[in-house]
Structure 1
Amino acid sequence: MEFRVNLSRPDITEAEIEAVCDVLRSPNLSLGPKLDEFEEAFCQYIGRRRAVAVNSGTSGLFLCAKALEIGPGDEVITTPFTFIASATTIMMAGATPVFVDIDPVSLNMDPERIASAVTDKTKAILPVVVFGNPTGLDRVCDIAAEHNLAVIEDSCEGLGSQLHGKKIGTFGAMSTFAFYPNKQITTGEGGMILTDDDDLADMCVSLRNQGRGKGGGWLAHARLGYNYRLSDINCALGIAQLARLDEFVAKRRHVADMYIERLAADDRLIVPREPEGCLMSWFVYVVRLADRYTIDQRNTVLAKMIRRRVQVSNYFPPVHLQPFMVERFGYKPGDFPLTDAVCKSTVALPFHNHLTAADVDFICKQLTTCLDELT
């Protein structure tokens, strides 16, 4: 189906196209100068000492776990309301994800529930900046410090956000961003690890490049590694996109404001707003149906919106109820009731830099009509 309004869309100009073409005209398509340039630009923007570019946010989270020596027998506390990779990367490292239910307003892991989930097997906490909202991240770090736990900051959805004036990506011992085309900036596919610890950064550099060590040759491998490199083609695109990040954040805030203006008065909806103390870099715009509606009614709204050529989605299904998670860990509905309730009600609306007031008017009209038709 061809949608009148797509759920997401990258913002690519001639500057990005020319940057990529410049690399294609060069002899350096991978492990060239654009890799170093992109990593340095990210360090400067976030304010951390080291950046390690990788081929996805998923790879970044996994390498963070490996660098922190998280493995079999270890537990990592995280949220069940997130994209699946927040949990599966823990499992890829051989450790066990331990879920903590969410705060029903921020939709982030509830910091006040974390302490009761800590055991003698707990090695780290992996908080997620859900939809670009960093609320509670400072409290998570405080709790981690109290229990001598590492924090892997999953900031894949939050590039450009701030909490009390502190940039996202600077809270955890390690943090990871992602650059899939629906993110604030894109490299097509890609991710970035940030840390102030040289040993952790050096380990990630080695692991992303087939385990090659410092000073070794191309065929010398110091450890088991992976091919998680990000090409200079992707890095060139990322450099051009990062230079426009403030523009992108402003555009996305404007779209969010248009949705708030048009939908906030509708008591059938729970409409997200920027929390106090946050400068929010919106990743997606997800409304929720009021508690009186069922999941079947939510699904009816999704289906009708799609038939009306408005691309929408159910961000997020609960991670713990994914079939393989149920099979492996025995989770069931009700284990994390706040997450379950939120997941039954979400409607992710189209959200990207190109949306006009007319687009938002059309989307909101279709949504209200679909709500009117519910019985």
Structure 2
Amino acid sequence: MIPLSGPDIGEREKELVLEVLQSGHLGLGPKAVEFERMMAAYAGTKYAISCNSGTSGLHMLVRAMGISDGDEVITTPFSFVASSNCVLFERAKPVFVDIDEATYNMDVSQIEAKITERTKAILPVHVFGQPANMTEIRRIADKYNLRIIEDSCEAIGAKWKGKSAGSLGDAGVFAFYPNKQLTTGEGGIVVTDDEELANLCFSLRNQGRGENGLWLDHVRLGYNYRMDELSAALGVAQMERVDEILSRRAKVADLYFEKLREVPGIILPQSVADADVSWFVYVIRFAEHLNRDEIMVSLSKEGIGCRPYFTPIHLQPFYKEQFGFQEGDFPVTEHVAKGTLAIPFFTNMTEAQVDGVVEALKRHVL
């Protein structure tokens, strides 16, 4: 078996988790504060607000920005469904624009045509750790007085023109599910320079507790979106070696590039000059004459983990039922999604494992 992904957990992670267990302080404690401090410094923002998932972080920002009934948020249909669900949680509407076929990010040339009097924000997703064109997104947002929520859940360590993903909009969100570059088991974090947004998120994650922090003093509707101390301890340990982790993942990506670049029928990930990619997953795309689904089934039978990344959000049953979306609405997204496949990729992946995946792929495409 070569798994699709796997967390990189070492002795330091175990040490800090055990430290928390022995402290008896399992929630709302010092490890979450330490993790927040490290994340703010890494992202280059004034504030970081830990929470229990990237989805929770996105939802808090939608609510903190006052986006609600009937408002519209422009985003991408090629993403994990959370980037649109967070808008629906507040009864607002995600408005999709198609993607760029090379980067799989939002086609920024289509954004302005989708802006209406109801548009309140743009929510770009840095898909697979590839930064979106934040220069153009910022220009459009400033022109129309829109907020920007960066879904950086897959992009810790990525940069656009030298500036960290998550710090390029009004606020950003990172996520730490076990398949991410860094993991806290489950968890997320909001980063921002906006003091008002930060204070609202601190409150919203903790049942709407007031800024004075008094116990059982709740001034607004909030949620239990807190990060526990065990998760935060994992986060601290992972952040202590974030550069090492990202570097090792980049080396695995380089191996795939080297060994797959001459294989006909396989389209490799592409990047642009202004972007520094953070490798979340390694997603290849098959040429039209190859059947992705058949290859995926065969690889799985051989013990090689793989998944289609992504199924378009607008073609998910709930979205089709709710909004009437149908095939053909976003042709580039649909074309790309029919051919993409995430292949095994993780921090501790060996060259022998890469070779095993590459040889299996060659058997099915050559």
Q: TM-score, normalising length from structure 1?
A: 0.96
Structure 1 residue corresponding to 2:118, chosen from 96, 117, 121: 121
Structure 1 residue corresponding to 2:354, chosen from 338, 347, 360: 360
8 Å CA contact 2:3–2:305 kept in 1: the answer is yes
The Cα of 1:216 is off from its aligned counterpart by 4.9
Alignment of 1:33-48 (within 5 A): 33-48=30-45
Cα deviation code 1:99-137 (max 9, x no counterpart): 000000010001100000000000000000000000412
Within 1, Cα distance between the matches of 2:176 and 2:239? 10
Structure 2 residue corresponding to 1:347, chosen from 337, 341, 348: 341
Say if 2:224 is the partner of 1:222. no
| Structure 1 gap ranges (5+) | none
Alignment of 1:70-85 (within 5 A): 70-85=67-82
Match of 1:157 in 2: 154
Structure 2 residue corresponding to 1:61, chosen from 39, 47, 58: 58
The Cα of 1:291 is off from its aligned counterpart by 2.8
Within 2, Cα distance between the matches of 1:354 and 1:42? 23
Cα deviation code 1:53-96 (max 9, x no counterpart): 00000000000000000000100000000000000110011100
Q: CA RMSD in A?
A: 0.9
8 Å CA contact 2:292–2:340 kept in 1: the answer is yes
Within 2, Cα distance between the matches of 1:217 and 1:320? 43
Deviant stretches of 4+, over 4 Å: none
Match of 1:147 in 2: 144
Within 2, Cα distance between the matches of 1:161 and 1:245? 12
Within 1, Cα distance between the matches of 2:305 and 2:50? 31
Deviates more, 1:168-177 or 1:207-216: 207-216
Cα deviation code 1:117-159 (max 9, x no counterpart): 0000000000000000004122112111111100000000000
8 Å CA contact 1:164–1:278 kept in 2: the answer is yes
The one-letter amino acid of 1:133's match is Q
8 Å CA contact 1:260–1:273 kept in 2: the answer is no
Within 2, Cα distance between the matches of 1:190 and 1:124? 24
The one-letter amino acid of 2:362's match is T
Match of 2:6 in 1: 9
8 Å CA contact 1:187–1:234 kept in 2: the answer is yes
The Cα of 1:329 is off from its aligned counterpart by 0.3
Say if 2:181 is the partner of 1:184. yes
Structure 2 residue corresponding to 1:338, chosen from 332, 342, 364: 332
Match of 1:298 in 2: 292
The one-letter amino acid of 2:317's match is P
Match of 2:196 in 1: 199
Within 1, Cα distance between the matches of 2:92 and 2:220? 20
SS of the residue corresponding to residue 25 of structure 1 reads helix
The Cα of 1:248 is off from its aligned counterpart by 1.0
The Cα of 1:210 is off from its aligned counterpart by 0.6
The Cα of 1:186 is off from its aligned counterpart by 0.4
The one-letter amino acid of 2:69's match is P
Cα deviation code 1:16-69 (max 9, x no counterpart): 000010000003111011111111111111110011000000000000000000
| Structure 2 gap ranges (5+) | none
Alignment of 1:270-309 (within 5 A): 270-293=267-290, 297-309=291-303
Within 2, Cα distance between the matches of 1:172 and 1:364? 38
Within 2, Cα distance between the matches of 1:275 and 1:363? 26
The Cα of 1:277 is off from its aligned counterpart by 2.2
